[in-house]
Amino acid sequence: MIRRDPVTLKKVLKVYFICGTPNVSRPLTEILEEAVQGGATIFQFREKGEKALTGEKKKEQAAKLQAICHEKGIPFIINDDVELAVELNADGVHVGQDDTSAREVRAKIGPDKILGVSAHSLTEAVQAEKDGADYIGVGPVFATSSKDDAEEVCGPERISEFREEGLTLPIVAIGGITFENTPAVIRAGADGISVISAIASSASPADAANKLYRKASS
Ligand SMILES: Cc1ncc(COP(=O)(O)OP(=O)(O)O)c(N)n1
Ligand SMILES: Cc1nc(C(=O)O)sc1CCOP(=O)(O)O
Ligand SMILES: [Mg+2]
């Protein structure tokens, strides 16, 4: 069973790889295997955008990725699609402010699954915690080309502000995270980093994940 207590979760969130088939030019199963071998500690299946799989094809892809995560011992999280997460008995769900409400998701997935919620303000973060979130995703910390409808860049300062206001919930930084800027977001108070392109667009997902892990751990 995936443990969702904050101490374990803070370690598990260290290198959070997020990906869907539109983000890659070779099989996502291969890329995930390599990323986990390098050091990715949790995976989110985010199948959206042009050419995203739907229906049975999406479910089949999800099941393959879930099997890899289980074999390697890392949590398998589904983005947005709560019904698919319940059907596949995924380890958790990530939702944003415009998705199914966190409270509703928690009721649907039960107490043992991981619930991640995007939060752009302290009010949203505090509400997410009340609604049963286990961690929040904060971003875009830097400019990103992986999300068309991203909010304004908030910088690592947003994370420091949350910590200064006393928020203790695990935080992952997202949006434009690279090897170079990882230390700054960790110093600001993030427990981990979430990336699409830093791993998915790398010639070597294993090397990229390994370098991110070392940067996020130092
Ligand atoms: C870890 C993590 N943080 C933030 C997000 C963004 O979620 P959301 O705002 O719902 O946007 P979409 O990813 O659904 O486009 C995330 N997916 N993961
Ligand atoms: C999925 C996602 N959510 C964001 C947010 O700000 O909530 S930014 C983002 C895309 C992250 O991709 P990359 O690592 O390639 O910048
Ligand atoms: Mg969403």
**Residue 170: inside a domain, yes or no?**
yes
* Protein residue with least CA distance to atom 8, ligand 2: 175
Tokens (6 digits) for 4: 């969702």
Mutate to test the pocket of ligand 2, among 18, 171, 180 (most ligand atoms within 8 A of CB): 18
User: Is the pLDDT confidence value at 7 over 80?
Assistant: yes
Number of domains in the chain: 1
Domain assignment of residue 77, yes or no = yes
Q: Check: pTM over 0.95? Answer yes or no.
A: yes
Segments forming the whole domain that contains residue 204: 6-217
Would you state the pLDDT for residue 218?
A: 84
Q: Compute the distance between CA of residue 188 and CA of residue 193 in angstroms, rounded to an integer.
A: 12
Tell me, yes or no, whether 1 lies in a domain: no
The 3-state DSSP class for residue 11 equals: helix
**Average pLDDT value over all residues in the chain:** 97
Q: Which residue has the higher pLDDT, 180 or 218?
A: 180
- Say whether pLDDT at 3 is over 80: no
Question: Is the predicted pLDDT of residue 36 greater than 90, yes or no?
Answer: yes
Q: Position 108: which residue type?
A: K
Whether residue 120 is contained in a domain is answered as yes
Residue 34: what pLDDT? Answer: 98
Q: Which atom of ligand 1 is least distant from the CA of 48?
A: 15
% of the chain residues with pLDDT over 90: 96
Which is nearest to 20 in space by CA: 72, 78, 82, 91? 78
How large is the average pLDDT for residues 90-119?
98
Question: What is the spatial distance between Cα 18 and Cα 10, in angstroms, rounded to a whole number?
Answer: 17
Residue 189's domain is classified under what CATH number?
3.20.20.70
The answer as to whether 185 is a domain residue is: yes
46 noted as active-site residue: yes
Bridge partners (DSSP) of residue 116 are 94, 135
With 90 as the cut, is the pLDDT of residue 2 above it? Answer: no
Residue 160 is assigned to a structural domain of this protein: yes
Structure confidence by residue, pLDDT tens digits, 38-88:
999 999 999 999 899 999 999 999 999 999 999 999 999 999 999 999 999
Does 192 fall in a domain? yes
